[in-house]
Copies of this chain bind each other. A is one copy, B any other.
Amino acid sequence: MDLQGSFHVYDTTLRDGAQQEGLNLSVADKLAIARQLDGLGVGFIEGGWPGANPRDTEFFRRARSELDLAHARLAAFGATRRAGVAAADDPQVAALRDSGASVVTLVAKAHDRHVELALRTTLEENLAMVRDTVAHLRAEGQTVFLDAEHFFDGYRDNRDYALEVLRTAAEAGAEVMALCDTNGGMLPGWVADVVHDVGAATGVRVGIHCHNDTGCAVANTLAAVDAGATHVQGTINGYGERTGNADLVAVVANLELKLDRTVLPTGLLSEATRIAHAVAEVTNVPSASRQPYVGTSAFAHKAGLHASAIKVDPNLYQHLDPVAVGNDMRLLVSDMAGRASIELKGRQLGYDLDQETEEGKELVGRVIARVKELESRGYTFEAADASFELLLVEEVEGVRPAYFDIESWRVITENKPGDEAASEATVKLRAGGARIVVAGEGNGPVNALDHALRLAIGQAYPEVAKFELIDYKVRIVDQGHGTDAVTRVLIETTDGSSSWVTVGVGHNVVEASWGALLDGMTFGLRRHHT
């Protein structure tokens, strides 16, 4: 089945998504994201605007040799020719023609006021610019899509002209006319009405490009599809200017899982969660835990009320099986969760906290009390399963796993004039029966402590050489007090085969990090010794 023919899933993360505040993508980033998008099975990847900035030009140059796409076709975005210049003589159009992309998506003004005020030309010339540019690119063998900018606002102000822009592009050979809600002010009912009318009045193939300014980007996109659009544009994680573009994963998941439409190659939707998070690693925009379908919280249950029922039947409390999008149902340890959550969590970790027995009841009670006390001090175990498991083990076995005994630590950070600041840590501890004193350097206090700690413990337990700290998150738990606040540190440690997250808390960010480091080492050592 040729999905690219029947229905277009068109991703614009690398172009419109990159307009997001705080988001800066290198060429390498863009290539990495393109590979992820191809893994999701989207039909088209809009790579950027060749000729508009050196980064995008470089992306298309490298894409030719470095991007081997299994599913997607690469699209180059650009504008129609400048006023009063032949399309063939416009260097910007030439850059599109020569980009190597098999599709060119031309942005054209469809709103009369934009033509006059922003483009500063006549309505007639704008039509000629559309006609000439599309025709030129088609003659050069390009597939051409049209992005009708500000279409919905233009339709409201001057329906005839907005429709004329679409007709002109279609007659010149553009295959898809994507209606853009560039300012994002539309609601689903309005989008549906306009898409219906455009189809009836022009007969062109309609695409849809929505932004989330009313919080309805996904619903607007679905409304357009319901009204006849067969080409949807969006971005991974809903990246984009202002409130972002339509979240392409949510759009696709709704189409496939809710509306029974096949828009991706079979089986690839189950990669969505992994891919959405992988892309977030590249963009370094922290994933929104509440993100539909792929968020870490999207299928998580907290309330004790629910947890007891989930034990009976998970489907009572989830709208679909998270496996369909590669996500999973987690239970959160929290002082809002009842005994059922703790019991379930314990079972997931391999402990049978049978509440029928007195010991089981009493044990779960102790764990809940500990969790509540620690969470009241700023700890969280929702994201730190390894620290929670250590707590659970301590309560089950009556003693906390210990492989070393810290005597003291110290870290100094100072600036060498004209040089970067440097940190140096000293750690004194007992392990394997010996007293060990080690110094470690680092380009930050926690980095130095991490090096010193692993050096010291490594003398007794060589396996820690394999341990590596792969993620470090600092959060001010008690905002508004500047550096005085309580800080919470989450650390992710790996042994190469798997990774685990631990938590530390303290008024001192270094002390909080130290606590998380110790838990990380202890958890890893326990895994190798049991």
Task: Determine, out of A62-70, A311-319, A358-366, the stretch whose residues face the partner at the interface.
Answer: A311-319
A118 CB contact (under 8 Å) in B316, B410, B415: B316
A506 within 8 A of B: yes
Q: Is the CB of B214 within 8 A of A117?
A: no
Residue A121 is within 8 A (CB to CB) of chain B in the complex? no
Judge if A368 is at the interface, Cβ distance under 8 Å: no
In the bound complex, residues from chain B placing their C-beta under 8 Å from that of A413 are 410-411, 445, 508, 510-511
Bound-state Cα–Cα, A253 to B509, Å: 40
Using A215-B250, A302-B241 as known contacts, say yes or no to A318 and B509 having CB atoms under 8 A apart: no
Contact A292 B410 (CB under 8 A): no
> Contact at A483–B302, with CB atoms within 8 Å?
no
Closest residue to A26 on the B side, CB-wise?
Answer: B376
In the assembly, what is the distance between CA of A295 and CA of B184, in Å?
14
The digit string for A371-405, where 1 denotes a CB below 8 A from any CB of B, is 00001000010110000000000000000000000
- Specify which chain B residues have a CB less than 8 angstroms from the CB of A351 in the assembled complex: none
Interface size on A, residues (CB 8 A): 128
Tell whether A323 is near chain B: CB-to-CB under 8 Å.
Answer: no
Tell me, yes or no, whether A11 is within 8 Å of chain B by CB.
no
Report if A436 contacts B (CB, 8 A).
no
A507 B244 Cβ-Cβ under 8 A: no
Nearest CB on B from A468, distance (A): 7
Which single member of B24, B485, B514 contacts A421 (CB below 8 Å)? B514
Is there an interface contact between A247 and B336, defined as CB atoms closer than 8 Å? Answer: no
Residues A315-336 near B (CB distance < 8 A): 316-320, 332, 334-336
Residues of B within 8 A of A94 (CB): none
List residues of chain B with CB within 8 A of the CB of A21.
289, 296-297, 300, 302, 332, 334, 382
Whether A250 lies near B214 (C-beta < 8 A) is: yes
Known contacts A241-B302, A309-B117, A473 near B472 by CB under 8 Å: no
- Asked if B508 and A482 sit within 8 Å, CB to CB, the answer is no
A223 at the interface (CB under 8 A from B): yes
User: Closest residue to A417 on the B side, CB-wise?
Assistant: B408
A295 to B18, CA, bound (A): 18
Partner of A316, one of B113, B296, B308, B332: B113
Residues of chain A from 199 to 232 with CB closer than 8 A to chain B in the complex: 212-220, 222-223, 226
Q: How far is the CA of A187 from the CA of B254 in the complex (A)?
A: 8
Chain copies in complex: 2
Give the distance in Å from the alpha carbon of A188 to the alpha carbon of B420 in the complex.
56
Nearest B residue to A468 by beta-carbon distance?
Answer: B482
Q: Is the CB of B213 within 8 A of A289?
A: no
When distances are taken between beta carbons in the complex, the residues of chain B under 8 Å from A183 are 317-319
Check A312/B375 contact, CB under 8 A, given A284-B479, A412-B412: no
Please determine whether A291 and B243 come into contact, CB atoms closer than 8 angstroms. Answer: yes
| Complex interface: chain B residues within 8 A of A446 (CB) | 483, 509
Among B303, B334, B420, B485, point to the contact of A508 (Cβ < 8 A).
Answer: B420
| Chain A residues numbered 418-449 whose CB sits less than 8 Å from any CB in chain B | 420-423, 442-447
Q: Considering the chains assembled together, what is the distance between the CA atoms of A487 and B450 in angstroms? A: 17
A20 at the interface (CB under 8 A from B): yes
Chain B residues positioned under 8 Å from A250 (CB to CB): 214-215
Q: Can you give 12 contacting A-B residue pairs, CB < 8 Å?
A: A21-B382, A22-B289, A182-B317, A187-B254, A214-B258, A242-B297, A242-B299, A409-B415, A415-B511, A446-B483, A469-B482, A472-B476
Given contacts A187-B259, A445-B445, 5 further A-B contacts (CB under 8 A): A21-B332, A214-B258, A410-B415, A468-B482, A469-B483
**A residues at B contact (CB < 8 Å):** 18-22, 24, 53, 113-114, 117-118, 150, 182-185, 187-189, 212-220, 222-223, 226, 238, 240-244, 247, 250-251, 253-254, 258-259, 281, 284, 288-293, 295-303, 306, 308-309, 312-313, 316-320, 332, 334-336, 375, 380, 382-383, 407-415, 417, 420-423, 442-447, 450, 468-474, 476-485, 487, 491-492, 506-511, 513-514
